[in-house]
Amino acid sequence: MAARQPNRRLDDVQDLRVMAHPLRVRLYYALIALEAATASRLAESVNESPALVSYHLRQLREHGFVEEAPDLVSDRRERWWRPATDGFRFSLPEADDVPEARAAAVALQRTALANQLERLESWRDEQPSWGPEWSQVAVSSDVMLRLTPAELAAMNDELHAVLRAYRGRARDDARGTTDPATRGGSSTGAGPTPGEDADVADGREHVFLFLHAFPFRP
């Protein structure tokens, strides 16, 4: 299996258009969370039919966002999928001579924002069922800063470095490769099956984090 692209930059108009579809965004992030899954499992996650999910997975595969995982197949009737990247990034084209690219990037930006707000609304509705342990540590905040473009770029780099460190820590724990001294327990060397939650064993849940930072004039 080839290594995932850590943070793929989207520059192609067709790639932007493909990912601007709301269901494809939901499927991509569901697959990121599950690490690997069948179309049936993903259909349960997004509450859509397996046939529709399979179609959109094929579209994502054609543009390099997901890939098939034949090494996980134990039944020829099932098809396993996994993400081909750990995420993606894009920016709005500034040149006036690329209107199609700008329109596609704006569409993807709107789709991503709608997905983020939908997740936030779901958390608000479901928060009581998570109990005080999670309710007390969940954060919703905003901060007003005065920065130069260079300072904002540096802050972005630092924030992403922190996020990569925590993502790596969770993966090492799941694979049983983290130093036991830093885990407070012994290492068995046996991680969970891809697509299988290890939350019961290590107390982790999927946590969705999104940050927005942009200039404004009051």
The answer to whether residue 26 is domain-embedded is yes
pLDDT higher than 50, residue 181? no
- Cα separation, 145 vs 97, in Å, equals 33
User: Same domain, yes or no, for 55 and 115?
Assistant: yes
The answer to whether residue 66 is domain-embedded is yes
User: Same domain, yes or no, for 117 and 151?
Assistant: no
Section 114-127 average pLDDT: 93
pLDDT higher than 50, residue 194? no
The total of structural domains in the chain comes to 2
Q: 4-13, 155-164, 198-207: which has the minimum mean pLDDT?
A: 198-207
- Three-state DSSP at 134 gives helix
Q: What is the DSSP letter of 5?
A: B
In terms of residue numbers, what domain contains 89?
8-121
What is the band of 89 on the pLDDT scale with cuts at 50, 70, 90?
A: confident
Residue 5 near residue 85 (C-beta atoms within 8 A)? yes
User: Same domain, yes or no, for 59 and 98?
Assistant: yes
Looking at residue 2, what is its pLDDT?
A: 54
User: Same domain, yes or no, for 114 and 159?
Assistant: no
Q: By CB neighbour count within 10 A (0-12 exposed, 13-18 middle, 19+ buried), where does 70 fall?
A: exposed
The answer to whether residue 135 is domain-embedded is no
User: Same domain, yes or no, for 103 and 13?
Assistant: yes
Q: What angle separates helix 99-135 from helix 22-34, to the nearest 10 degrees?
A: 50
Section 179-186 average pLDDT: 37
pLDDT higher than 50, residue 183? no
User: Same domain, yes or no, for 98 and 150?
Assistant: no
pTM exceeds 0.85, yes or no: no
The answer to whether residue 14 is domain-embedded is yes
- Cα separation, 115 vs 121, in Å, equals 10
Mean pLDDT, all residues of the chain: 84
User: Same domain, yes or no, for 117 and 145?
Assistant: no
User: Same domain, yes or no, for 115 and 19?
Assistant: yes
